[in-house]
Amino acid sequence: MATMLLLTFLISSLIMVTVGLAIDFMEILRLGIDGQLSVDPSDVETASLDFGLLTRGQPLAVLHPVSAQDIARVVKAAYGSNQGMTVSARGHGHSINGQAQTTNGVVIQMSGWKGGNKPPRPHVWAEERYVDVWGGELWIDVLKSTLEYGLAPKSWTDYLYLSVGGTLSNAGISGQAFNHGPQISNVYELDVVTGKGEVLTCSEDENTELFHAVLGGLGQFGIITRARISLEPAPNMVRWIRVLYSNFSAFTSDQEHLISLHAEPSNQKFDYVEGFVIVAEGLINNWRSSLFSPQNPVKISTLFPTSGVLYCLEIAKNYHESTAQTIDQEVEFLLKKLNFISTSVFTTDLLYVDFLDRVHMAEMKLRSKGLWEVPHPWLNLFIPSSKIAEFDKGVFKGILGNKTSGPILIYPMNKNKWDHRSSVVTPDEGLFYLVALLRSALDSGEETQSLEYLNNQNRQILRYCDEAGIKVKRYLPHYTTQQEWMDHFGNKWDRFYEMKMEFDPRHILASGQRIFTPTFPSLSNMPS
Ligand SMILES: Cc1cc2nc3c(=O)[nH]c(=O)nc-3n(C[C@H](O)[C@H](O)[C@H](O)COP(=O)(O)OP(=O)(O)OC[C@H]3O[C@@H](n4cnc5c(N)ncnc54)[C@H](O)[C@@H]3O)c2cc1C
Ligand SMILES: *[C@@H]1O[C@H](CO)[C@@H](O)[C@H](O)[C@H]1NC(C)=O
Ligand SMILES: *[C@@H]1O[C@H](CO)[C@@H](O)[C@H](O)[C@H]1NC(C)=O
């Protein structure tokens, strides 16, 4: 009892001291910042939450920066303070597990600005075919600005309301990754504010270590304030095709065949290869299925095999209206080699922009039904291709039953399109799959839709992989102990740790990833 009281007393005085000092810290910050430092409850509330709606972490203040210098001032103040103060960049807050949150510090709101001053707009270098963008720029705005020059980035995410700095801190993947690599393979140069508050330009040739560490670096080494992104001439149309399989092995061999064509000339391969799993219930609660159902809901339901699971290959070919006469032949040639259920071809032609922005349409629909701002216990796994059939048996045809609570994406990628020097971790095989279980928890009273049920199922899936010897790596990883992070990084851990000591030795940045605990210099050595 006495120790309890003492502990309570110690903790509450610690809180008082922290709050007192935090206010001094904020006074310092108010000087010399061109952006806006805010303690406005609505700003603080926004920064306390994310898309996952699973964790909450309230910062002391939110900075709306307009330059790298603004950010450098805040990080320097945190670096020089003796309060274990943290700084977390937040893009669009589309993390699942509080990765952009912090409780003892400042959130830098990189996307969506407030006030008169603004961060720099995208600058397109048309001749050189790249664009310089602010780290908080959303990909949708990058696209709009490059299209004015008839150009576009090459590698995407499925959803464009994500920030450049946020996706480059993970990898940034979609159906173009088999061909162009992830987004982190399509960046020439970065400006980064390190954990010491220095602003450094880095690239393949300059501050090379920092460049590779930051890409896929989970925000641990610096805050990306500018990225130089590679561009290509933009197509204006897309032929978007979906075909169905009931045979998983036929489905994956076709996917693997299609991505093996990456080195072929562009008229002899698809530009986009993805896929998804459809279980009976998935027809209702699936962002993707809406694309079939208006046309032909009956047909699909009659195709369900006894396993209750169908697989949909999703492929797309870019074209320009001026070259439209060859697209039919090119597509026909490619489809001829595939073994899908022949009666199940769904084709749509649409504008390139509408294709890239397709998930936003689904978002609007879900929002209108109140189904967007709900908890999202997502699980994203990279699975070695040699084990994908086992995963299918154990998970799609096993653990999931006939309930998925959201889309399940599955598509393979070529490891040789990933630079091994980046911080991201992928399986030890030349081909690996993304399996993304993008589930929404609902308070509907039905047990299988509850957060608890879905969390348990996620744990069950991970345990199954572990026991079956399927060496998965998590994408958008989330762990709570350093030992788990060491296991995640495997032989990349030593390097990751070394880079952390060099670029953020006080563990100020992105503490919401829970890889490193902020250090209190009063308990260790102050920097000289
Ligand atoms: C609907 C939806 C669809 C998605 N689709 C895809 C997809 O197709 N492919 C894919 O790869 N991912 C996808 N994602 C995941 C997405 O890439 C991650 O959520 C990622 O974190 C980007 O989101 P954000 O910009 O909001 O970053 P935040 O969640 O704000 O931040 C993510 C992490 O990066 C750090 N960070 C943010 N900005 C910076 C910066 N400028 N410099 C350094 N660190 C920074 C943060 O501190 C945090 O640790 C999707 C997410 C959602 C919600
Ligand atoms: C599934 O497809 C594979 C080819 O990938 C084939 O060998 C196998 O016989 C098919 N199985 C069934 C039940 O049709
Ligand atoms: C789904 O699974 C439940 C129990 O696991 C079963 O009762 C139900 O019939 C199944 N529904 C379909 C459409 O397969």
Whole-structure pTM value: 0.93
- Mean pLDDT per 10-residue interval, the chain, length 528 residues: 44 45 62 88 97 97 96 95 91 98 96 86 98 98 98 98 98 98 98 98 98 98 98 97 96 98 96 92 50 51 78 96 87 97 92 97 94 97 98 96 89 98 98 97 92 97 98 97 97 98 97 87 41
Cα 280 from Cα 307, distance rounded (Å): 10
Do 507 and 516 meet the contact criterion of CB atoms below 8 Å apart? yes
Give the burial class of 219: count Cβ atoms within 10 A of its Cβ; 0-12 exposed, 13-18 middle, 19 or more buried. buried
Residue 19 confidence (pLDDT): 53
First vs last Cα of the chain: how many Å apart? 42
Is position 94 annotated as part of the catalytic site?
yes
Assigned fold of 2-115: 3.30.43
283 lines ligand 3 (CB under 6 A): no
Closest Cα to atom 39, ligand 1: which residue? 165
Q: Which amino acid is at 216?
A: G
Euclidean distance between CA atoms 309 and 300, whole angstroms: 11
Measure 414 CA to ligand 3 centroid, in angstroms.
36
What is the Cα–Cα distance from 502 to 193, expressed in whole angstroms? 13
Q: Is 158 designated active site? A: yes
pLDDT per residue as tens digits for the range 449-477: 999 999 999 999 999 999 999 999 999 99
Level-2 CATH architecture, domain 237-474: 3-Layer(aba) Sandwich (3.40)
Strand partners, 431: 414
Is CATH 3.40.50.1980 correct for 123-233?
Answer: no
User: Which of 49, 167, 187 to mutate to test ligand 1, by most ligand atoms within 8 A of the CB atom?
Assistant: 167
What's the confidence (pLDDT) of residue 16? 42
Q: Count the helices and strands in the chain (H runs, E runs).
A: 16, 18
Task: For the beta carbon of residue 108, count every other beta carbon within 10 angstroms.
Answer: 30
Residues in the chain, overall count: 528
Q: What confidence score (pLDDT) does residue 284 get? A: 47
Which atom of ligand 2 is nearest the CA belonging to 247? Answer: 1
3-class SS of residue 37: strand
Secondary structure letter of residue 147 according to DSSP? H
The H-or-E segment that residue 329 falls in is helix 324-336
For the chain, domain boundaries? 2-115, 123-233, 237-474
Q: Whose CA is nearest to atom 6 of ligand 3?
A: 402
pLDDT of residue 103: 93
